[in-house]
Amino acid sequence: MSISHHKVAFVTVADEHAGQRIDNFLASRLKGLPRSRLYRLLRKGEVRVNKGRVKPEYKLASGDLVRIPPMQLLDASEPAPVSAALAARLQSAVLYEDSEWVVINKPAGLAVHGGSGESLGLIEALRQVRAGQPAENLELCHRLDKDTSGCLVVAKKRAALKRFHAALRDKQLQKHYLALVVGHWPRGLDVVNAPLQKNVLRSGERMVCVDKAGKPSKTLFSVAQRVGQYTLLNVQPISGRTHQI
């Protein structure tokens, strides 16, 4: 079954969505649209904001006019069901919770959201598991790569999400990672500065490479432990580039 949108739609951004990324805004409205197709619409300029092209990371402002092209969507009324094993895994992975936030210990191998070949991501699964919770509008505050485990902050309210993003923008928050690498990390190598260029493949996957034309990035490294042919590193990205580590 599918849902057809035969006319161009124009949506005016409300105050509550100010500061939200355009890709997340579209994903919340175009249920069933794969992320790969969403990024393709943005890349080709079929989705426009105030008559202009925008990148996926564009932050919406109140009053922005978003153009959404006619399309055919998969019916999202019946999302893939969460298995009992995954539901139990997510419920036991809650590290902290209050009226505004849920902090999840995301397991490696689980994407944070569906799309690009992923039928179900953590946020979609979490929404199903917690469907009975009143007054919750769960949104990812940030992302972790599919193969990365660690703390993932989820906001229960739009206002909390905006405060989190403001704190990130004002550098009031720090991200710390543990990374296990093969070989002996060179002594004295504690800072890596490299210009990173982001490319979006046809599949919608984002790839990053070191390129002089890229944006500057800075990452701090320190050795936590050396074990045989491996080194465990403490890693702190100072800039916030995609796939920086």
Chain-centre distance of CA 184, in angstroms?
32
Q: Give the Å distances, CA to CA, from 215 to 212, 226, 236.
A: 8, 32, 18
- Could you say which of 145, 170, 190, 211 is catalytic? 145
**Where are the extended beta strands (E) located within the chain?**
2-5, 9-12, 48-49, 65-68, 71-74, 94-97, 101-106, 139-140, 150-155, 177-182, 191-200, 206-210, 215-227, 230-237
Residues 6+ apart with CB under 8 A from 53: 42, 45
Q: Give the Å distances, CA to CA, from 201 to 18, 43, 150.
A: 28, 10, 27
Cα 47 from Cα 92, distance rounded (Å): 39
Q: Is 23 a catalytic residue?
A: no
Catalogue the active-site residues. 145
